[in-house]
Amino acid sequence: MGVFNPTVAIRTQWILANKVILKDNFHNPPRNIAGVDVAYIGEYGLGAAVLLDYEGLHTIDEKAALIKVDIPYIPTFLAFRELPPIIKALKRLRTKPDIIMVDAHGRMHPRRCGAASHLGVVLNIPTIGVAKSRLIGKETNNGVIIDKGEVIGIKLDRNVYVSIGHRISLETAVKIVSKTKIYKIPEPVRRAHNYAERVKKLIREGTIKIEDLL
């Protein structure tokens, strides 16, 4: 594990948080939407990016990428560990996504810079954060998540947290998540997760060589 500097990381997050656009800033509805996720194979992080058409939610493209991960998982600093493999996989998609759904929190973060927001600002692409558990904030009876008097996200169903990533309003983010939700986990991130597991299995079986995804 390489060294990780929390002080620098915190400073970076505040800077990026201030660049987040909290209103809709993209062609709505989008033509397509991408889902991203990361699986682990030893010292490698396997980034997965799946692109679907927003209309029928059909898979248009799916790409994977491996990269060595030397940063440990530390709550509130997930982006520094998972974004490298995710960005590498995204760059392999044949089409640039209109919007990206990330398997993590966005604004629902102590410094308002969860991995979803971090990714959106760095790539300047609209993003939405979808997590399966809470990181911060308190929930009101109606599913609204609040932190320091600020609405930072919404809780759907049982354990599906939605927050904006970048260039989108919370209202629109919730609408998009709801529209792409067939099962508990919305399709973009669900497919990215399944794809990552599928590739991971092929690697373990030897069908795919690690070098081919580096």
Partner DNA sequence: GCGACAG
Partner DNA sequence: ATCTTGTCGC
| Binding site residues, DNA, CB under 7 A | 37-40, 73, 75-79, 103-105, 109, 114-116, 129, 131-135, 197, 200
Cβ at position 78, least distance to DNA in Å: 4
Q: Supply φ then ψ for residue 99, to 5 degrees.
A: -155, 150
Strand partners, 145: 139, 153
Nearer to DNA, 59 or 194 (CB): 194
Cβ at position 55, least distance to DNA in Å: 27
Cβ at position 132, least distance to DNA in Å: 4
Cβ at position 79, least distance to DNA in Å: 5
Cβ at position 57, least distance to DNA in Å: 21
Cβ count near 114 (within 10 Å): 31
Residue pair 93/47 in contact by the 8 Å Cβ criterion: no
Token pair for residue 98? 């209109």
Nearer to DNA, 33 or 119 (CB): 119
Nearer to DNA, 55 or 72 (CB): 72
Q: Quick one: which of 168, 27, 150, 40 has its CA closest to 102?
A: 168
Strands 32-41 and 100-102: parallel
Nearer to DNA, 4 or 28 (CB): 4
Nearer to DNA, 28 or 151 (CB): 151
Q: What's the distance, Cα to Cα, between the start and end of the chain in Å? A: 19
